[in-house]
A and B are shown apart, each in its own frame.
Chain A
């Protein structure tokens, strides 16, 4: 009895578990995702960018107080947000970069990009003996991050910083190691200003860095910069302001050296926008705009009737986003996000009005 192995039980349980295992696999691929998570009609679901999360949580909290509508936003990263919207498990996504071709194809249906606010990326450095604010040009930044400028007293840096005593110190580069929208904004900018960067590195949320150390998150990069004399790295403006880090003035397209602030970031978006708002505002044409900036976009399907969604739910979503680009904007400044310039609000309004339910416009 003891030696007789019960093969029947083993086989039966084995087959059952294998079946369960396979189902779990499919679940992982997200194809079987139903409408279970969206059953509560008074809760909207969103997912995406971590960058915009502090602003969204403030805005959604206020909106909840005013209307009673709950918004559950998971800050899992832009890529994750896009994936969840593609799988139709959330009502809206949020991305720090417009959808690329592959993502658009996978989406299956047209998606709308609604600018929510803009953010800037600053170059923070650690030069203990330099008291003045350093000025940098696009060419210098690209050469620094390509590893071509290796000393702080390089001629190119000295040329744009007359009167600043630059130390004979090795440059240490710090970059984000986790895939992030911040990296995307920074590398997109570098591809716009440097042909060499475009061919050697390119743009993306993670790239193959020619030089430097990687830190995890804004805090990781900030830590590397603060620990290493001679280090330079990029972090979000909001993070740099909150942590009182030293950051450089950057020369924009018009030739002006711009200090990164909420106002100069907002100004960067004050340019003629295309109707779909899928535009990079880095390397902006605006004369007073800080060039290293980007919108963050909420993403929704243009046709809101999918997966048996109710018209009520679609209307709630559209009203929420409408509120975000109007009343919600006043919370941006205090959290160091740049509010949308008036021109961008108009474009965003038109995009929201183009959303439909069964082919009919949802907003009047």
Chain B
């Protein structure tokens, strides 16, 4: 508008009557969508559908591949595979129980160890110090934990954590293996902290301030606000964060392999968690390259199928728990 005024020129004024019309006409036209726009709209929508379907197909074909490839093992071993305790490639005897138990023990123990830390970080960064350089620094540091490649955790666990655990075991009178379920759980716990922490922090920050202010107005202390307002308000989100980190723990391979001791034995006795064990993911990674027999290879793939199903079941259960908490 301003430039029009400045560049006012009487010679142009002659066409002044036509010009507004000429400008208005395209405006009317933009309100009607051109065929190109409609085509683009349809194309975009279809592309989204195709990509969404592609994802579903991808997951299903992974499942299908696992089932097809594990048929020789399913035929040879039957359901015994699930509760067999012996894994012996020499005699073609395969039982997944020690690895199934190992995966569940390390994942849940890691979860229990990590929860206090991830919630503490989330509350600190979400409620106490949501802004400022210290908060940013801490937030980036926690997120960096997730960015470090898992093999580096494996190295650290193997060279630093395992000797420390060995000293600890000697103090409490447990067998001094060092490597074992406990070492693997601690490494996993550290690795999964940022998953729950980041999500929980975002959710805690989203608690409406009028709820908190209301509680403060009623004379609540900060601890009471966290306990009675923030945590109840955010519980489904916090559970989702835990679920996310559990999923990560179930499938972690490299770091676990390096510190778990890789022995296909079930834990027993009071020092069971200090025993060396094994997980499904690490057995697959360890033995896949040299699995020569067809049943052997197939048994490893079946182990992958079991891991896949365990992950699905835990995810579905987790979702149901979250929705139940949310409905209450």
Contact = CB atoms under 8 A, between A and B. Distances in A.
B286 A179 contact: yes
Given A216-B258, A223-B158, A178 B289 contact: yes
Given A227-B163, A227-B178, A202 B90 contact: yes
B69 A29 contact: yes
Interface of B: 46, 49-50, 53-54, 57-58, 60-61, 64-65, 68-69, 86-91, 158-159, 162-163, 166, 176-179, 257-258, 261-264, 276, 278, 282, 285-294
A178 B53 contact: no
Interface in A231-285: none
A228 B178 contact: yes
Contacts of B278: 214
Contacts of B285: 178
B142 to A, nearest CB: 29
What 3 pairs between A and B have smallest CB-CB spacing?
Answer: A179-B290, A214-B262, A21-B61
A201 B90 contact: yes
B87 A208 contact: yes
A77 B61 contact: no
A25 B64 contact: yes
Nearest to A177: B262
A9 B61 contact: no
B90 A207 contact: yes
Contacts of A28: 65, 69
Interface in A66-92: 76-80, 82
Contacts of B90: 201-204, 207-208
Contacts of B282: 177
18 contacts: A9-B46, A14-B53, A14-B57, A17-B61, A21-B58, A21-B60, A21-B65, A24-B61, A78-B290, A100-B292, A179-B89, A202-B91, A203-B90, A208-B88, A212-B263, A213-B276, A215-B262, A228-B178
Interface string A13-40: 1100110011011001100000000000
B293 A205 contact: no
Interface of A: 6, 9-10, 13-14, 17-18, 21-22, 24-25, 28-29, 76-80, 82, 100, 102-103, 106, 172, 177-181, 201-209, 212-216, 220, 223-224, 227-228
B8 to A, nearest CB: 47
Given A10-B53, A13-B50, A21-B57, A178 B290 contact: yes
A68 B167 CA distance: 57
Contacts of B65: 21, 24-25, 28
A126 to B, nearest CB: 13
Nearest to A76: B289
Contacts of A202: 88, 90-91
A213 B262 contact: yes
Given A21-B57, A212-B263, A214-B262, A177 B286 contact: yes
B88 A17 contact: no
Given A80-B289, A205-B290, A13 B54 contact: yes
A203 B88 CA distance: 10
Contacts of A17: 53-54, 57-58, 61
Contacts of B290: 77-80, 178-181, 205-206
A178 B61 contact: no
A223 B262 CA distance: 14
Given A18-B57, A177-B257, A206 B287 contact: yes
A297 to B, nearest CB: 14
Contacts, number: 128
B219 to A, nearest CB: 50
Nearest to A106: B294
Contacts of A102: 292-294
Given A206-B286, A207-B90, A214-B261, 8 more contacts: A6-B46, A25-B64, A76-B289, A77-B290, A80-B290, A102-B293, A179-B289, A208-B89
Contacts of B162: 227
A213 B177 contact: yes
Nearest to A23: B61
Contacts of A9: 46, 49-50
Contacts of A224: 179
A21 B179 CA distance: 40
A179 B88 CA distance: 12
Contacts of A206: 89, 286-287, 290-291
Nearest to A181: B290
Contacts of A103: 292
Given A21-B61, A177-B262, A207 B289 contact: no
B128 to A, nearest CB: 41
Which of B57, B159, B282, B294 has most chain A Cβ within 10 Å?
B57
A29 B288 CA distance: 15
Nearest to B155: A223
Contacts of A181: 290
Contact of B292 (A205, A209, A215): A205
Contact of A6 (B49, B64, B292): B49
Which of A9, A180, A206 has the most CB atoms of chain B within a 10 A radius of its CB? A206
Contacts of A80: 289-290
Contact of A25 (B61, B87, B177): B61
Contacts of B264: 208
A353 B53 CA distance: 56
Interface centre among A80, A102, A180, A216 (most CB of B within 10 A): A216
Given A9-B46, A14-B53, A220 B258 contact: yes
B291 A179 contact: yes
B286 A178 contact: yes
Contacts of A25: 61, 64-65, 68
